[in-house]
Structure 1
Amino acid sequence: MALPEVEIGQFYMGSRLLNPLTYLIGLPIDQVNFLACQFIALGIGIYFREHMSPKKASFTQRHLVELCVGVCLTLFCFGYQILHVFAEAAIAYVIMLYAPRENFHAIVFVFSMLYLSIVHIYRQIYDYGGYTLDITGPLMILTQKTTSIAFALHDGTQKSDDQLNPDQKKQKIVEIPSPLAYSSYVFSFHNIMCGPLVFYSDYIHFIEGTDGSYDPPNQGQNHSKLPPSPNDAVKRKLISALINGIITVTSPIFYPVSYLTDDEFLYKSSWLYKNYYVLVCITLVRAKYYLAWELGEAVNNAAGLGFKGWNKDGTANWDLIRNIQIYQLEVSNSLKVNIDSWNIQTLIWLRRIVYDRVPKYSTLAVFMCSAFWHGFYPGYYFTFCGAALATVAARLMRRNVRPLFQGSGQSKHFYDAVTFTFTRFTNVYVTFPFCILIFDETIRVLGSLYFYMHILCIGVYVYFTFIQPPKKQKSEKKE
């Protein structure tokens, strides 16, 4: 007798080979396949690092392993939807080859975002509000890769060094990657499932073994120039992934997101209880992202990707593609630090592709690009527009109010306590629509909270912009 399969969206296109496990562990097949692919990549990554290092295998061999294993894992997890990865990557590559040199990077950006958007829209049509894992996840990472390559290539071939900032000089590409190197980068087996994003120049340094050329702090004693073992970093991140996995599985039992739209919550709970529930519920929801990113980083580190150099105390730093700073995010008393600690590689991508190149309205442009990249659920736009508004208000508060509380230790502690509290509530207030997704339900929850954070942020903006604008100083510390 066949074991019943855990319920899942009927449009999942990946392999059903592991269906029996869905019954045994209580996870749907899409999540079982994802975890299986990540642990397979972890094992292959360890072998790849130890037996196919740049000293033991040619660059071509390393590229081929990255490509072939990555294609197999993608095919297993997403089935024929892998064709979307081939299509977007191939067309973007052709554009980089043959489009006009002065604006090929912009064409790649428009094409890649448009292709991703079409897939997002199609996904919303056939699985509206669903959470089934499909090819949109890898396509989001791919879009970051194609656009970052295009802009780095444009910087390296169409601009002089005096037109580039230091980061652009470091990331620039002076010639188009070979088809093999490009395909290897696209399908990198330890990076294809959920990233985190690695930029092309860093990836090539990893393939060629030049990512270990950082001078160690005590060279000639107990360090060499070769990348050290990532085992400690891998263990630490796997433990973090395990803890967050347990939280992810157990927290919905006590604090389900679905309760946010329940009539009992909306109409019978007090305003204070609603804020308490949103705070705890959305804080716990973050664990599933911590799980995916910590596991993703561990897999990349196990393969040898992620060495950033040496810390001042002589320890190895394996945070080159660090995507989350959990402690900083959870205890920060600054909204800027809070935002900067989340999805870090995407923030770097947005800075390099949008913020540094759109000087006017750069903050709004970044948030809107991020929203389009995520998809078209209304909840995303509530989140990113709310985050943009809160960011502007937080800057004004910091600039105008913080100096008033720097006179004594007590006043500083009071200011820190207040900003810590507001950062916690602002974070969950602007991000819960990201979990609800749907317009009507988001409006109902916001209405039950009386739109209080929107009103506060707008009030801060109006007051410090029109009623009591700050006096401009000759020099002002950049926020």
Structure 2
Amino acid sequence: MDWPSLLSVHPVAGFQLAAFPFAALYRTLCSFGCLSVNARYVFLLVGGVILSFAAMGPYALLVLTPAFISAFLLPEAQPESVHKWAFLCQMSWQTLCHLWMHYSSPTHQDIQSSRLSISVSSLMLLTQRVTSLALDIHDGKLKRALGSREHGGPHEHPRNVLPLCSYLIFFPALLGGPLCSFATFEKQIRGSISPLASSPVKIFIPVAIRVLGLQGLRVFVQEWVSGQPDFATCSQIDCVCTMWSTALLFKLSYYSHWLLDESLIRTAGFGFQLGHEDTSFDRELSDMDIWTLETTNRMSVFTRTWNRSTSQWLKRLIFQHSPAQPFLMTFVFSAWWHGLYPGQIFGFLCWAVMVEADYRIPSYFSSVLKSRHASLLYRVVTWVQTQLLIAYIMVAIEMRSLSAVCLLCISYCSLFPLLNLSMHLWLVSGNR
């Protein structure tokens, strides 16, 4: 076993680990009643500012500036149009930052480019919170935050900015983690945490064991991938093995990060109210279900389960507000949100087509296959096909460049999405 590789972590994960003691301190102070509600806001806000400068250096201003501007301006905007302006402003700023990262540091090898990459990743999460907050204002869900307009007059407005600033850059979710709605954030801040609830140590140790296990598997797969030919030199079945193992490497990295992200938020006390675990937290703030992701034979189920809070955010932001082709527009926007690299555009469009096919193909075979053995065989075959489709899409998205997409398209791997596409077109034509 390569122990240095096993214990090495991504820079973002390193900063997340460094934030654990402060999350535990915050939780301890809250559980013993040492922090008032406003002091909790300040603790999370100051922690977010410090963590942003520690992780991003001067690039922290790319995140903090739109966060503070949004906190001051969103409550003053008209509720009918606030989500449109928030969407356009935030996505325009994020797109400019993506372009800057793409053209200024394409290799991401030095410290400065790594910090820029972290800042852009954090900016993507900020976009989620800003647009979610704007939709809450549009839907009238921020009565507490906007109470100054209804009861106190303009002089009370600065006091109500504090919760919004704290929500937009609170440190447990600054660098990663599931999307937390403002209502859930307020509930956690104003609630109480019993000292008898699970301690931070009991939360962290099981997560550390699981992360080490995933990291060990990742090191093993990485050694396997390093001995395989790349897409420029592989042939036929070798390309399929390269694609699947490379995608597995990406998935294991995502799983490790999501475990750390979720455990950091839990360590800070989110999800624990009055001495027991809040099950609504699991429904809203859990991004990962590894068992479902790795065992499903449906692309649609994988899509809803992968990065679950982001999927719910996309549904609320794009799918429910698109006047035409909401399904396609959701995947197009997802490519835009990720940076509009050629591989991402190709990957997300391919993803959309495969999910659309998934809504037709299973219904057809369920009416044809009657015996239990035939259904079992169908499930096994479709599970393999689904995993290969996921690997194809993930490799395209993660490799990003046009040259990598071209190599993937002309490889043997393209037979699997073409098979699904052909079946989909045949079923569509047959229903006319």
Which amino acid letter does the alignment assign opposite residue 125 of structure 2? I
2:154 — aligned with what?
A: none
1:236 — aligned with what?
A: 206
Question: Is the alpha carbon distance of 1:187 and 1:150 closer, same or farther for their aligned partners in structure 2, counting shifts above 3 Å?
Answer: same
Question: Is the alpha carbon distance of 1:231 and 1:410 closer, same or farther for their aligned partners in structure 2, counting shifts above 3 Å?
Answer: farther
Structure 1 residue 457 and structure 2 residue 413: aligned? no
Q: Distance in 2 between matches of 1:341 and 1:403?
A: 26
1:455-479 Cα deviation digits (max 9, x unpaired): 223322321112x118xxxxxxxxx
Deviation at 1:92, TM superposition (A): 2.6
Q: Distance in 2 between matches of 1:256 and 1:117?
A: 34
Q: Distance in 2 between matches of 1:258 and 1:103?
A: 53
One of 313, 321, 329 as aligned partner of 1:365 = 329
Deviation at 1:235, TM superposition (A): 3.4
2:224 — aligned with what?
A: 254
Structure 1 residue 141 and structure 2 residue 119: aligned? no
1:335-388 Cα deviation digits (max 9, x unpaired): 112222211111111111112222631211111111111112111111100100
One of 261, 268, 274 as aligned partner of 1:303 = 268
One of 441, 445, 466 as aligned partner of 2:404 = 441
Number of aligned residues: 410
Q: Distance in 1 between matches of 2:92 and 2:278?
A: 43
1:245 — aligned with what?
A: 215
Q: Select the structure that is richer in helix.
A: 2
Structure 1 residue 191 and structure 2 residue 155: aligned? no
Q: Distance in 2 between matches of 1:356 and 1:309?
A: 35
User: Does the CA contact (< 8 Å) of 1:185 and 1:200 recur in 2?
Assistant: yes
Query: What SS does structure 2 have at the residue aligned with 1:253?
Result: helix
2:362 — aligned with what?
A: 398
Question: Is the alpha carbon distance of 1:227 and 1:350 closer, same or farther for their aligned partners in structure 2, counting shifts above 3 Å?
Answer: farther
* TM-score in terms of structure 2 length: 0.86
Which amino acid letter does the alignment assign opposite residue 87 of structure 1? T
2:162 — aligned with what?
A: 180
- Unpaired segments of 5 or more residues in structure 2? 147-159
Structure 1 residue 205 and structure 2 residue 181: aligned? no
Aligned ranges for residues 341-360 of structure 1 at < 5 Å? 341-358=305-322, 360=324
Structure 1 residue 284 and structure 2 residue 252: aligned? no
Which amino acid letter does the alignment assign opposite residue 144 of structure 1? Q
2:431 — aligned with what?
A: 469
Query: What SS does structure 1 have at the residue aligned with 2:39?
Result: helix
Question: Is the alpha carbon distance of 1:321 and 1:52 closer, same or farther for their aligned partners in structure 2, counting shifts above 3 Å?
Answer: same
Q: Distance in 2 between matches of 1:308 and 1:464?
A: 51
Query: What SS does structure 2 have at the residue aligned with 1:80?
Result: helix
Deviation at 1:113, TM superposition (A): 0.9
Deviation at 1:450, TM superposition (A): 6.6
1:150-181 Cα deviation digits (max 9, x unpaired): 0111101xxxxxxxxxxxxxxx3235462211
2:135 — aligned with what?
A: 151
User: Does the CA contact (< 8 Å) of 1:307 and 1:317 recur in 2?
Assistant: no
Question: Is the alpha carbon distance of 1:283 and 1:416 closer, same or farther for their aligned partners in structure 2, counting shifts above 3 Å?
Answer: same
Deviation at 1:427, TM superposition (A): 0.6
Q: Distance in 1 between matches of 2:190 and 2:273?
A: 15
Question: Is the alpha carbon distance of 1:450 and 1:41 closer, same or farther for their aligned partners in structure 2, counting shifts above 3 Å?
Answer: closer
1:130-156 Cα deviation digits (max 9, x unpaired): 373430111011000000000111101
1:322 — aligned with what?
A: 286
Question: Is the alpha carbon distance of 1:149 and 1:259 closer, same or farther for their aligned partners in structure 2, counting shifts above 3 Å?
Answer: farther
1:257-287 Cα deviation digits (max 9, x unpaired): 99534x322xxx2x12211221122112211
User: Does the CA contact (< 8 Å) of 1:309 and 1:317 recur in 2?
Assistant: no
Identity of aligned residues (%): 23
1:336 — aligned with what?
A: 300
1:293-350 Cα deviation digits (max 9, x unpaired): 1101111111111359999xx9968624111111110111111122222111111111
* TM-score in terms of structure 1 length: 0.78
Query: What SS does structure 1 have at the residue aligned with 2:31?
Result: coil
Q: Whose relative contact order is higher, 1 or 2, with alpha carbons under 8 Å and at least 6 apart?
A: 2
What's the Cα RMSD here?
3.0
Question: Is the alpha carbon distance of 1:82 and 1:273 closer, same or farther for their aligned partners in structure 2, counting shifts above 3 Å?
Answer: same
Which amino acid letter does the alignment assign opposite residue 380 of structure 1? Q
